[in-house]
Amino acid sequence: MADKVRHIELGLTDQQVLDMYWYMVLARTVDERMWLLNRAGKIPFVISCQGQEGAQAGAGFALDPSKDYIAPYYRDLCLVLIYGHTAKSELLSAFGKPEDPNSGGRQMPGHFGDRKRRIITGSSPVGTQIPHAVGAALAAKMRGEDFVAYVSFGEGTSNQGDFHEAANFAGIHKLPVIFFCENNRYAISVPESKQLACKNVADRAAGYGFEGVVVDGMDPLEVYRVMKAAVEKARNGGGPTLVEAKTYRLVPHSSDDDDRSYRTREEVEEAKRGDSIVRLKQYLLDVGLLTEEKDAALRKKALDEVNEATAYAEKAPHADPATLTHYVYAEEAVHHGR
Amino acid sequence: MAVKQYIEAIHDALQEEMARDERVFVLGEDVGVRGGVFRVTAGLIEQFGEYRVLDFPLTESAIVGVAIGAAAAGMIPVAEIQFADFILPAVNQIISEAAKFRYRSNNDWNCPIVIRAPYGGGIHGALYHSQSMEALFTHVPGLKIVTPSTPEDAKGLLVSAIRDPDPVLFFEHKKLYRSIRGEVPEGEYSTPIGKAAVRREGDDITVITYGLGVHLALDAASHLEKEGISTHILDLRTLRPLDEQAILEAARKTGKVLIVHEDNKVCGVGAEVSAIIAEHALFDLDAPVRRLAGPEVPAMPFSPTLEKAYMLNTDKVAQEMRALAKF
């Protein structure tokens, strides 16, 4: 029965934990639809969140979307849904349509951004977003505001210089930033064992003078607990935390990858048994917040939203070729010959 | 008007913009307590405190990357890269991020940062304290590249750069810091980015240049005047966007064009300037376009004789100008 009140003990209401589950299911449904569309030849590229929804949901619910900045990476579909994006916005992105709020169809899917939602625009070279989050955290400290900055990345990216440079600086100034590593065990084909000499990415935090925490990234409630503490610490002037969520990438790196060349099917099947969606569903069934009927209705709702979003996005107009040269600089400046 | 050194004008622009707008702050290596290795930021930490004059660890990529993030959260950062030679670790942040923030977000985000960097040789700085990095960045849409040659412009263009809604690279020729003095207007003013300036009116030949080259050309022109050669000099001031109209007007004025820069010739700014002239003013020319630029060697050696051989000087510029006038 102790487990029964776990979310309550963590400060989550029944509705919040159900919402968490909803966003995870919605993210998975959007993601699966993108693969179908790709295999049907309708969209050129997919990069997936599958396997990492729980980690992202736990993190997202610990943040305050009304004031906290996020610098997500390309797998953070579930996180940006929590931050206000929708199946429609992400399918518009998948089809490269100008209504896409991330980039107006200019970037590949998974390259998130939205100024009014404080989602800092991201790119493809990995790790460049880490100093951006630290810069936003610096602004919070300089202005004495109580927002925090959150940045996520994979374990492969934790090898980049930008991670080290940004974490070092954040540590020196005790900036309100959370470094969230979604360790999904593979950097495309290269396993953890060939990426890191230390056991955990979180171990690296010691070198920057702040705390590193390892958490089971397939358990969204546990991620929420760890993240909530990290966010509170950052908000109260306690400085950064490096949270490493141990997850597993359930699908190939992208639609252009074939993971059969570097990992066994048995390994992937085993990981699927620990899928965060499966685990949270079981928890909700156990505590009586969900039934199989309610779950079916919830999944149908997600599918309906995705169907509607797909139809809308597919029909939405393409970018006018005349817009190719727009927004290189501020338009006002261009008009003045600048 | 007060007479100021080039370096003082840059300092004054920073100080006045920081006093005017509390979002403006400087960050870089040794910019705070030391006041910068060239002393550009001297005294600012006493006036504005250690966060607005932020001493950074030796992390050029983070200097720019953190500036980008701070700008995303509403600040106006002016990053200093101690020597332009050391900007290379930050190139990913500058080209992949700052230059593309607006474009890749479909005008949702922008990146109002300034990156200042001293460049150029002639100060015994050898390979890694002498390079000219401007051509590398001038190729990149989304960036603005500014290279002032006078104290008045150094201040006015830095003010414009700080107020610009897009990323500006502000390259300061370090040999000009204390060797050039000039009148600087009293009070607040700005110099528009993207506008070249005629530094001398003339009829026989045109020199198009920027930075230190402007002063070499002005010196050479006064020598040539005694020989009966009249020189028209255009200071580009901004390398991206180039002032095409001013370039074409200057080329047509005399029909004979010499382009001068310290950066090496291949794919340098002179290549673009001469291409613009070839595209739009070929039949107004009376001579082929000439270029005088740094040699095709990786960088400037420490050896005094080799450094001297690398550097442009008044004699080298005058020689090219005479040859063009005689054509």
Q: Are A177 and A171 in contact (CB under 8 A)?
A: no
Mean pLDDT of A125-153: 98
3-class secondary-structure state, position A220: helix
Top CATH class, B2-184? alpha beta
**pLDDT digit string, tens, across residues B40-57:** 999 999 999 999 999 999
**pLDDT digit string, tens, across residues B218-235:** 999 999 999 999 999 999
The pLDDT score that the predictor gives to residue B265 is: 97
Among A71, A121, A143, select the one facing B105 at the smallest CB separation: A121
Q: Is the peptide bond before B57 cis (omega within 30 degrees of 0)?
A: no
d(CA B255, CA B271): 17
- For the CA atoms of B98, A207, A229, A185, the dihedral, rounded to the nearest 10 degrees, stands at 70
The pLDDT score that the predictor gives to residue A331 is: 85
**Where in chain B are all domains bearing CATH 3.40.50.920?**
197-326
Mean pLDDT of A141-163: 98
- Contact list in A for residue B241 (CB cut-off 8 A) is 337-338
The pLDDT score that the predictor gives to residue B1 is: 84
* Contact yes or no for B67 and A135 at CB 8 A: yes
Instruction: Label each residue of chain B as H, E or C.
Output: CEEEEHHHHHHHHHHHHHHHCCCEEEEECCCCCCCCCCCCCCCHHHHHCCCCEEECCCCHHHHHHHHHHHHHCCCEEEEECCCHHHHHHHHHHHHHHHHHHHHHCCCCCCCCCEEEEEECCCCCCCCCCCCCCHHHHHCCCCCEEECCCCHHHHHHHHHHHHHCCCCEEEEEECCCCCCCEEEECCCCCCCCCCCCEEEECCCCEEEEECCHHHHHHHHHHHHHHHCCCCEEEEECCEEECCCHHHHHHHHHHHCCEEEEEEEECCCCHHHHHHHHHHHHHHHHCCCCCEEEEECCCCCCCCCHHHHHHHCCCHHHHHHHHHHHHHC
Could you say which residues from 58 to 87 on chain B have a Cβ atom under 8 Å away from some Cβ of chain A? Answer: 59, 61-62, 64-75, 77
**pLDDT digit string, tens, across residues A32-49:** 999 999 999 999 999 999
Output the domain CATH number for residue A266.
3.40.50.970
**pLDDT digit string, tens, across residues A290-311:** 999 999 999 999 999 999 999 9
B49 touching A, CB under 8 A?
no
**pLDDT digit string, tens, across residues A237-291:** 999 999 999 999 999 999 999 999 999 999 999 999 999 999 999 999 999 999 9
Helix A14-39 vs helix A292-315: crossing angle, to nearest 10? 50
- Contact list in A for residue B193 (CB cut-off 8 A) is 338
The number of folded domains in chain A is: 1
As its CATH architecture, domain B197-326 has 3-Layer(aba) Sandwich (3.40)
Per annotation, catalytic residue among A6, A262, A263, A279: A262
Q: Which residue of A89, A328, A331 to mutate against B (max B Cβ within 10 Å)?
A: A328
Helix ranges, chain A (H): 6-9, 14-39, 53-62, 77-82, 87-94, 129-143, 161-172, 220-235, 265-273, 276-286, 292-315, 331-335
* Contact yes or no for A330 and B61 at CB 8 A: no
Domain that holds residue A288: 2-335
* Of the candidates B93, B98, B178, B168, the residue with the CA atom closest to the CA atom of residue B134: B168
Q: How far is B257 from chain A (nearest CA, A)?
A: 24
Taking the CA of residue B35 as centre, how many other CA atoms within 13 Å lie in the half-sphere pointing to its CB? 13
The pLDDT confidence band at residue A16, using thresholds 50, 70 and 90, is very high
The pLDDT score that the predictor gives to residue B214 is: 98
* Of the candidates A69, A149, A151, the residue with the CA atom closest to the CA atom of residue A117: A69
**Where in chain B are all domains bearing CATH 3.40.50.970?**
2-184
* Contact yes or no for A338 and B192 at CB 8 A: yes
- For the CA atoms of B257, B259, B260, B266, the dihedral, rounded to the nearest 10 degrees, stands at -150
Instruction: Quote the DSSP letter at residue A318.
Output: P
pLDDT for residue B189 is more than 70: yes
The pLDDT score that the predictor gives to residue B311 is: 97
Which residues face A191 on adjacent strands? A186
Instruction: Quote the DSSP letter at residue A249.
Output: -
What lies within 8 Å, CB to CB, of A334 at 6+ separation is A328
The backbone torsions φ and ψ at residue B209, rounded to the nearest 5 degrees and listed phi first, read -155, -175
Could you say which residues from 109 to 138 on chain B have a Cβ atom under 8 Å away from some Cβ of chain A? Answer: 109-110
Could you say which residues from 235 to 264 on chain B have a Cβ atom under 8 Å away from some Cβ of chain A? Answer: 241
What tokens does A214 get? 């390892």
The pLDDT confidence band at residue B152, using thresholds 50, 70 and 90, is very high
What tokens does A287 get? 């505590």
Q: Sign (positive/negative) of CA torsion A186, A188, A190, A196?
A: negative
- Contact list in B for residue A169 (CB cut-off 8 A) is 56-57, 59, 62, 66
- Contact list in B for residue A100 (CB cut-off 8 A) is 106
d(CA B43, CA B312): 34
* Contact yes or no for A128 and B100 at CB 8 A: no
Q: Are B233 and B221 in contact (CB under 8 A)?
A: yes
For the question of an ipTM over 0.90, the answer is yes
**pLDDT digit string, tens, across residues B139-150:** 999 999 999 999
pLDDT for residue A2 is more than 80: no
Q: How far is B12 from chain A (nearest CA, A)?
A: 23
Mean pLDDT of B156-178: 98
b/e for B275-311, b at 16 or more Cβ within 10 A?
Answer: ebbeeebeeebebebbbbbbeeeebbbeeeeebeebb
B280 as an active site residue: the answer is: no
b/e for B79-92, b at 16 or more Cβ within 10 A?
Answer: bbbbbbbbbebbbb
The pLDDT score that the predictor gives to residue A336 is: 41
Among B61, B74, B103, select the one facing A161 at the smallest CB separation: B61
A74 as an active site residue: the answer is: no
* Contact yes or no for B70 and A133 at CB 8 A: no
Per annotation, catalytic residue among A7, A28, A118, A253: A253
Could you say which residues from 163 to 182 on chain B have a Cβ atom under 8 Å away from some Cβ of chain A? Answer: 164-166
CA angle centred on A337, ends A336 and B1, rounded to 5°: 80
Instruction: Quote the DSSP letter at residue A47.
Output: B
* Contact yes or no for B62 and A162 at CB 8 A: yes
* Contact yes or no for A102 and B194 at CB 8 A: no
pLDDT for residue A332 is more than 70: no
* Contact yes or no for A162 and B51 at CB 8 A: no
d(CA A326, CA A49): 31
Q: How far is A21 from chain B (nearest CA, A)?
A: 30
- Contact list in A for residue B56 (CB cut-off 8 A) is 169
- Contact list in B for residue A165 (CB cut-off 8 A) is 57, 59, 61-62, 65
B301 touching A, CB under 8 A?
no
- State which residue of chain B sits closest to A139, comparing Cα positions: B70
* Contact yes or no for A337 and B195 at CB 8 A: yes
Among A115, A139, A332, select the one facing B70 at the smallest CB separation: A139
* Contact yes or no for B70 and A138 at CB 8 A: yes
The pLDDT score that the predictor gives to residue A4 is: 61
The pLDDT confidence band at residue A3, using thresholds 50, 70 and 90, is low
3-class secondary-structure state, position A176: coil
Terminal-to-terminal C-alpha distance of chain B:
41
**pLDDT digit string, tens, across residues A59-109:** 999 999 999 999 999 999 999 999 999 999 999 999 999 999 999 999 999
d(CA B247, CA B250): 5
